[in-house]
Each structure stands twice: as C-alpha cells, then as structure tokens.
A = this chain, B = another copy of it.
C-alpha cells in the first residue's frame, strides 16, 4: 500500500537554481555533468529505485535475513536479482574514478541517488552503501596493488565491502579493540577476533566481500594510537584476479533488529583469517575515518530519506482520508466529512515534514558539492573553505538530520492515527528504519562531541567563523528584498543564538569540559536549525528570482516562499529554548551520585 516517487523536480531546483551546478562545469568530473546528463541520471535513477527497490521494501522487512545452519546468510526474496540489476545499471560506478571503471561524476549526484535509494529501500541500500565507503578508504589509504586487486570488482558491484570496527565490549571507544593481527612471513597477517554489528558481513548478493577490519598488531600501544586497518577478503584472490580459497572468516549470528531487517547485521568471527595491512601500522583509524566521514554524510541523507518516504505517504493519506469538518466550516459539503488536510494540526505536521525534507535535501546536496570542491576546486583557498565547512557540518548533517528525520517519521505516522500503528500501512517501518540512523556511524551524542570538541576549535575556529560570515552576509543581502526580509530576519535571530551559544561554550567549556559536553547536543541542534535556515533563505532567494524572471513554474516557486516563511516562524524558534538549556551548564547533570538513579 505504501508508495514512492523520487523527488527529481526538487533535486533539480536545488542543483540548478540554488547551487547552480553549471558554474562548476570547468572542474574535473563536472564536464560530463551537463544539465541533460544530470537530468537523465536523476530520472533514470529515481525510476529504478522506485520500481525495482521500493517493491522489496516491505517484504524485506517482513522476511528479514536468514543465517543457515552452515553459516551462509541469505537476504530477503528478490534482493539478489535486484542487486544484479542495480549493478548492471551502473549505479555502483557513478562517482568512482574512471581509472578503476567508474564514471567519475561529481559526488553531489551520488548524494541525490543515495537519497532515492535509501527512501526506496534503506535495508537494501546498506549493501552498496558500505561497499562504496570501503572503496573510498582503499582509494585513500590502499597500496597500488590493493587498488588494482580490489577496486575494479568493487566498483563494478561484483564484490561488496564492509566496515569492521565494533566488538562486543567496544563500540565508541575504539581504544578497547581486542582483535589481533599477527604478521606472517609473506607480509600478510593472521587476523583473529570477533566483530559485531557488521552490515552485510555475509550475504548472497556478491561473489566476494572485502572486509575492512580494525585490529591490533603485537606490541601496539594500548589505545587508539595502536590500531591498524586490514583488508580481509571473504575469498582470497589469486594473482590473476580469480577467486581462491575461502578465508577463515564467518558469520556467527545475525541480529534481530527493530528495523532495516533486510540488511544482514552480522557477528563476524575472524579465526586467523588472512589479512593485508592498509596504509601504515598503528595508523588504521585515519583510513577508517575516510570511510566514516563519507558514511556520516550518507547517514544524514538517510534521515532525510526516511522522512521523505513517510511524508509522501502521509500526504496521500491526508488527501484520501475524510474525518471531521474544518474548524472554519465544511469544505466539502457534498461529502460526509472533509479530508484531513483541513485540520490545522495535520497541516502543522505535514508542513514541518515538507520544510524539513526540502531544507535537509538542500543541505545534503550542499554537503555533496563541498565534498567535490574540497578535492577539485581551482584554488587552494576554495578547497580549504569547502573542506572547513564540510568538516564543521558533517556531524550536524548526521546528528541533527537523523534526530529530526526520526521526529518527522513519527509525526507522519501520527497522521495515520491507528492505521499508522499497523504494519500493513508501512508507517511503522519508516519509524523503525529511521531509528538506526541516530545510532550508527557514531551515535548522535558522539557527533555532538565531535562538533564541539574537534570541529569548532579546528584551525582556531576558522570553519565556524567562515560559516557565521556566510550567514551574516546572505541575511544582510536578503533583508533588502521584501519577499525574503522576514526570513532573513528570523535566520539572523537564529544565528544570534548560535553565536551566543558558541561564546558560552568557549567561555565555560574551558573552565569545565563537562559544560561543553552538557551543551553539545543542544549546540548541534541549534547549528542544524541555522544551517537548514540558510538553505531556506537561499531557496527563497532563488524562488523569488525565478518569479521575478517570469518562470512558468509559478506554483512551485510560490510554495518555496511560503515554506521558507513557515520554517522561519515555526521551526527556527527552537533555537531559543536550546540556547537557554545549553547556558544552564553541567551542574545539575553531574551533581547526583550514581546511586541516586
């Protein structure tokens, strides 16, 4: 009963009229991203995800994955065929370098496709998503031989990839890792240990799986400074590239989870498995961080994606379902009741979802283009600015985006009343699937600590100062135009709260680091509100310009202006309370002894 159509029109608006993709056409990789090409990719991609992946979303949730007695893991019915079609259509190759068989297109297009596939089927999207992250890590940290051996097959979608960090006693705190890697005479290692929560640890989609595994070599320091990164393939690879014998790695169990049940979350046992060191010994976290940063942006996109799916279905339900009458008198007098759309509180929930998804989409695509610019912009200044801004906002996109995405899913489920609670309607699944995004790739509290403890002070606050001055300048410009003045004024007020909160953290976090920790999530949310506020200001400016220029798309552009005002009046004010809470400091949090709980 649930439905999905990829929001291609909205992505086009952001790429064409807000980001202005054409101005980057001189950059490497962008030369092929002509408007026609971009349009074709979005249209085809949206169609594929909606027609091939989405029909497997509910059945995948119902069936889950199965670990058989012999240790083999099978995915839900239809997943293997869909995966083959996905790889055949080239969706694994989009942003990958041409040297290893990729299409070398800008990352910003990947972001758009990641949204479509995560909305259509987040559990399925995990398989190519993790493989893509593993490709990125090998590209950055792998040797030439490793690249030649693994990347072409992984980029072609013939082999998948995984990230192996967590162990039963060790999640966030990677210094506690116990998995051991013993060097062998031939330069390889024997890897032994247990990893948990490994997405796609085993599956029946690809002929091989390239595990990236964090482990400790003998005598390594007993901290995060003693962690090395290894490639451990499920099947060893012969010199001619063919598959050799099965490696000593196996799936010991799969988890029964609240959601993303079509994704096989595995306990992986490494029993002296052959592994190959990636990069330098004891510097494994650097390579893993490459994966994590890409994955964090991708998880932020999941927050958007689930909210978008839930929103589309709630809109349809609100159009179809008739209950009660408008508070201002019957709207459809010839029917026994009006549609849900007449009720202000239903509207409030739908408008919040609309304002969040469209604003968050713009922010994610903005993150994609920064990622491109950080590597490819013409000048060092431009590259540095893009890198500073993306580093600053990656934890915000992940942390705020998934917190708010989950809230939106919960509200969209609420639109359905009792039917929202029944699995048949699909709304429970949006909530259950959205829930994981707040947890994995660093729980949102960790994102907030990364923001406050690492990203804010980086390079003497260079990134956050750049962000402040961008918002300040764009507000000043937009205030001169009556169509955008009130939106700019609200954003300026939000920025005021963000700056005050920043000052408070600087003044009080030094005195007592717990003050920074106690305010970190509030701070991340304030910054998320302001960052999406900036996107809404940009969209309002672009919509107003289009209207001034006599666009034929009048209704679309007018809706952008109304939604921007809604965001300014009804969502941005959250900064007020958040700032007040942050400024309350750590005292009452930390005062009680543990026995008082």
What per-residue 1/0 map shows which CB atoms of A306-343 lie under 8 Å from chain B? Answer: 00000000010011001110011000000011010101
Cα distance, A422 to B445, chains bound together (Å): 19
Q: Which of B176, B324, B414, B563 contacts A438 (CB 8 A)?
A: B414
For the complex formed, measure the closest distance between the CB of A336 and the CB atoms of chain B, giving whole angstroms: 6
| B521:A589 contact, CB within 8 angstroms | no
A432: contacting residue among B258, B327, B436, B443, CB under 8 A:
B258
Chain A 386-397 interface 0/1 with B at a Cβ cutoff of 8 Å (1 = within):
000000000000
Does residue A166 face the partner (Cβ distance < 8 Å to B)?
yes
Contact A555–B588 (Cβ < 8 Å): no
- CB atoms of A420 and B448 under 8 A apart: no
Query: What bracket does the count of chain A residues touching chain B fall in?
Result: 35 or more
CB–CB B422/A443 < 8 A: no
- Tell me whether A354 is interfacial, beta carbon within 8 Å: yes
- Which of A422, A513, A570 has its CB near the most chain B CB atoms (within 10 A)? A570
Within the assembled complex, what's the spacing in Å between the Cα atoms of A106 and B562? 53
Is there an interface contact between B573 and A588, defined as CB atoms closer than 8 Å?
Answer: no
Task: List residues of chain B with CB within 8 A of the CB of A25.
Answer: none
Taking CB atoms, residues of chain B closer than 8 Å to A431 are: 258, 435
- The answer to whether A504 has its CB under 8 Å from any CB of chain B is no
User: With an 8 A cutoff between CB atoms, is A34 at the interface?
Assistant: no
> A173 at the A/B interface (Cβ < 8 Å)?
yes
A597 touches B350 (CB 8 A): yes
Query: Are A341 and B521 in contact, CB atoms less than 8 angstroms apart?
Result: no
Are B597 and A315 within 8 A (Cβ)? yes
Kindly provide the distance from the CB of A520 to the nearest chain B CB, expressed in whole angstroms.
6
Tell me whether A337 and B423 are in contact in the complex, defined as CB-CB below 8 angstroms, given that A328-B514, A518-B348, A597-B354 are known contacts. no
A324/B172 in contact, CB under 8 A: yes
Q: A480 at the A/B interface (Cβ < 8 Å)?
A: no
Q: Which residues of B contact A181 (CB under 8 A)?
A: none
Interface centre among A197, A348, A591 (most CB of B within 10 A): A348
**Nearest CB on B from A395, distance (A):** 13
- The docked-state distance in angstroms from the alpha carbon of A258 to that of B428 is 6
Given known A-B contacts A328-B513, A577-B573, A566 and B588 have beta carbons under 8 A apart:
yes
Contacts known (A327-B514, A512-B328, A517-B327); A414 close to B584, Cβ less than 8 A? no
> How far is the CB of A251 from the nearest CB of chain B, in Å?
15
Q: What separation, in Å, do the CA atoms of A345 and B516 have in the docked complex?
A: 10
Q: Does A595 have its Cβ within 8 Å of any Cβ on chain B?
A: yes
**Centre residue among A170, A327, A336 by max chain B CB count within 10 A:** A327
Residue contact A417 to B435, C-beta cutoff 8 Å: no
Contacts of A574 in B (CB 8 A): 577
**B597 pairs with A323, CB closer than 8 A:** no
Q: Is A476 an interface residue (CB 8 A)?
A: no
Contact A323 B170 (CB under 8 A): yes
Question: In the complex, what residues of B have CB within 8 A of residue A470's CB?
Answer: none
Report whether B337 and A176 are in contact in the complex, using a CB–CB cutoff of 8 Å: yes
Contact B570 A584 (CB under 8 A): yes
Query: CA–CA, A136 to B299, complex, Å?
Result: 50
Nearest-Cβ distance from residue A457 to partner chain B, whole angstroms: 14
User: A228 at the A/B interface (Cβ < 8 Å)?
Assistant: no
Residue interface bits A443-459, CB-to-B below 8 A is 1, else 0: 11100110000000000
Asked if A290 lies at the interface with its beta carbon under 8 angstroms from chain B, I say no
Binding site for B on A (CB under 8 A): 166, 169-173, 175-176, 196-197, 255-259, 315, 318-319, 322-324, 327-328, 336-337, 339, 341, 343-348, 350-351, 354, 406, 410, 413-414, 417-418, 420-424, 428, 431-432, 435-436, 438-440, 443-445, 448-449, 512-514, 516-518, 520-521, 555-556, 559, 562-563, 565-566, 569-570, 573-578, 580-581, 584, 586, 588-597
Q: A327-B514, A328-B514, A410-B435 are in contact. List 5 more A-B contacts (CB 8 A).
A: A327-B516, A354-B597, A418-B439, A555-B595, A563-B588
A-B contact pairs, 17 of them (CB 8 A): A166-B418, A171-B417, A172-B417, A173-B324, A258-B428, A258-B432, A328-B514, A343-B445, A344-B514, A348-B518, A351-B592, A410-B435, A414-B444, A421-B439, A562-B588, A562-B596, A573-B584
